Amino acid sequence: AQSVTQPDIHITVSEGASLELRCNYSYGATPYLFWYVQSPGQGLQLLLKYFSGDTLVQGIKGFEAEFKRSQSSFNLRKPSVHWSDAAEYFCAVAMNTGGFKTIFGAGTRLFVKA
Amino acid sequence: DTEVTQTPKHLVMGMTNKKSLKCEQHMGHRAMYWYKQKAKKPPELMFVYSYEKLSINESVPSRFSPECPNSSLLNLHLHALQPEDSALYLCASSQGRAGGVETQYFGPGTRLLVL
């Protein structure tokens, strides 16, 4: 069965420090992978996606993610975190099964300390 | 215009009420989705419409009734809900190309409280 695991429920980093959020997926076919960010009480905003091609993908707000097939991972990184990055981050895997279906990980809550 | 709008922003209803949530997009997308998100949990897919036809129903109770009157509009009719149905209800849309995997655009959600 398809699944997405985000092993860290929450992470705290200092402003200006680097960030890595982990994501592992389980899917038998070629994965289509996404990272979304959600501020409290808000909808989801797409940060970046991987469908094929270059395994290092760039997104908005200075985020990037690297797809590693051998590790079934799609970790999100940012070299220098800003206080405004504090939010919930969701990794997701998508498939087309007669209708487009997305499965989300449990999420990682990012706290940024001054 | 890359926006998905949802109304109302907040809704409080009793267990005997009937209410509807509305979602609208004007991006020409042909696939639309309803998700339910409980506090501190990820979104869970409820329904998918593709070209105004229901293509996925994730075994959602019948007290939730979706409707897609046209390609721009998606409704979720609510009747006889339970307090545990209180959640953030998110709508999303995507281009709807057959066989493709696509980017979904999410609305801001409707915060529902059932008393």
Q: Average pLDDT by consecutive 10-residue portion of chain B (115 residues)?
A: 88 93 95 93 92 91 96 96 96 80 88 96
User: Which of the residues A37, A44, A51, A60 would you substitute to probe the B interface, choosing the one with the greatest number of B C-beta atoms within 10 Å?
Assistant: A44
What is the predicted pLDDT for the residue at A31?
Answer: 82
The answer, for A89 touching chain B at a CB cutoff of 8 Å, is no
Instruction: State which H helix or E strand residue B55 sits in.
Output: strand B53-57
Question: What single-letter amino acid sits at B73?
Answer: L
Distances (CA, A) of B49 to A18, B31, B64: 40, 5, 15
Pair type for strands B105-106 and A24-26: unpaired
The per-type count for chain A, helices as H runs and strands as E runs, is 0, 12
Between B103 and A10, where is the model more confident?
Answer: A10
Task: Select the residue of B50, B102, B106 nearest A43 (Cβ to Cβ).
Answer: B106
A106 vs B: CB within 8 A: yes
pLDDT value, residue A26: 87
DSSP H or E stretch at residue A32: strand A32-38
Render pLDDT for A83-109 as a digit per residue (tens, 0 to 9).
999 999 999 998 766 666 888 999 999
Closest residue to B94, CB basis, from A41, A100, A107: A100
Q: What pLDDT does residue A104 have?
A: 93
Q: Is B41 on the interface with A (CB under 8 A)?
A: yes
- Give the angle A96-A101-A103 at the CA atoms, nearest 5°: 125
User: So what's the pLDDT on residue B2?
Assistant: 63
Task: Judge whether residue A12 has pLDDT over 90.
Answer: yes
